[in-house]
Copies of this chain bind each other. A is one copy, B any other.
């Protein structure tokens, strides 16, 4: 008895139109990665478990998909371990490999393994799927693509500048005008921690501050007090509640707040250089915004922190993010390699483009030309014509059988074919072909010999 097939929850089939749309985004990202000097690498879908486990915290370890050892996997489990019947004890005995959870740890592993072949600074990009055993929900999947560009081996702030330009270039070409690139620096956050005298409360502080626009100063302060931040600390940090103006102006306000914090002032100096250079070079359609509440990956980033939000009016979380990290490769024994990277959120960008109707119409088209099949002799002439069209890069095919005209035309309609070619008995006799433009219904006759005249119209 045949099964009724299904796919695992959190995974997706992609139809031709969906693949075309995803590739449209990927190709634009890829193109800009490459003109910015990044080169592609690819790493295996699964890694040795010890490469991945312990790198993402306990929650991360839990969400990593583990691969069962092949063959008689249970025979290698000793009796003591087996009798415990504990998943945690059994796991390392029956599984040695795991699906990658992100592209960053495999990249660090790659850099360390191939350090002698690599010319630093190494600018790599990687666009591959990752897997997480997360609870599936809208926009969150168990298999999804990450699109990452990273530079390792350079602590120049030009990298920060270029990555901001890169975001701008990609989102401009995707016609996502009005995207906002939010910028912060880990050192600013450290400076604030010094100022408010409570490093361990910094996350609570930034989370509360982030709500300023929505709930107002009073409620933000209440939340801070609730979280245990002292009134004195809140008072000291009060300039943060009144930040206004563009990035340069905000920076000036930060300067007085963080005047006594060495690390804070270092962060300001970095931000200042980045913001000045970006201003000098100009952005095409995105705006750069200083956001002192931006704290993604707080324990991971050591310098710049980026996050991109879609144009206003689209309710979607961040569509990209990244930052500078020191010592990424340290976990695999290669010390003192500074890195910086950004990521594009393919699935979210897809949803935004869909919502805003920004996918080009041509992506819906399956083929350019369908030749109606009128029988053996006629279809041979069609096949010859189709061969010429294909040589010119035109997507063309002959309907495979001499089915009823209506059926063939319906197929052309369903597949959104813009041009239908007819070579019937009469056309064959006259060595010509008729092209029907499906959108208008217009028909035009060309000689088979001069098929180039039709190609020129495409």
Q: Are A20 and B40 in contact (CB under 8 A)?
A: yes
A380 and B11 contact, CB distance less than 8 A? no
User: Given A41-B15, A45-B45, A74-B90, do A395 and B35 touch, yes or no (CB 8 Å)?
Assistant: yes
Which interface residue of A35, A40, A86 has the most chain B CB atoms within 10 A?
A35
Chain B residue with the shortest CB-CB distance to A73:
B87
When C-beta atoms are compared, the residue in chain B nearest to A63 turns out to be B70
User: A162 to chain B: which residues have CB within 8 Å?
Assistant: 397
In the complex, A12 Cα to B113 Cα: how many Å? 12
- Interface CB pairs A-B, < 8 A, 23: A2-B330, A3-B331, A5-B51, A6-B48, A6-B51, A13-B42, A13-B110, A14-B41, A15-B41, A20-B39, A66-B67, A67-B67, A67-B68, A74-B86, A119-B415, A123-B397, A151-B400, A154-B401, A156-B401, A158-B379, A158-B383, A162-B397, A281-B380
Q: A67-B68, A158-B379, A366-B39 are in contact. Are A44 and B12 (CB under 8 A)?
A: yes
Check B133–A70 contact: CB distance below 8 A.
yes
Number of copies of this protein chain within its complex: 2
Task: Contacts A67-B68, A333-B2, A366-B39 given; indicate if A280 touches B380 (C-beta within 8 A).
Answer: yes
> Does A272 touch B at the CB level, under 8 Å?
no
Report if A169 contacts B (CB, 8 A). yes
* Residue total for A at the interface (Cβ-Cβ under 8 A): 108
Binding site for B on A (CB under 8 A): 2-8, 11-16, 19-20, 23, 31-32, 34-37, 39-48, 50-51, 62-63, 65-68, 70-75, 77, 82, 85-87, 90-91, 94-97, 99, 109-110, 112-114, 117, 119, 121, 123-124, 129, 131, 133, 143, 151, 154, 156, 158-159, 161-162, 165, 169, 277, 280-281, 330-333, 366-367, 379-380, 383-384, 387, 389-390, 393-398, 400-401, 411, 414-415
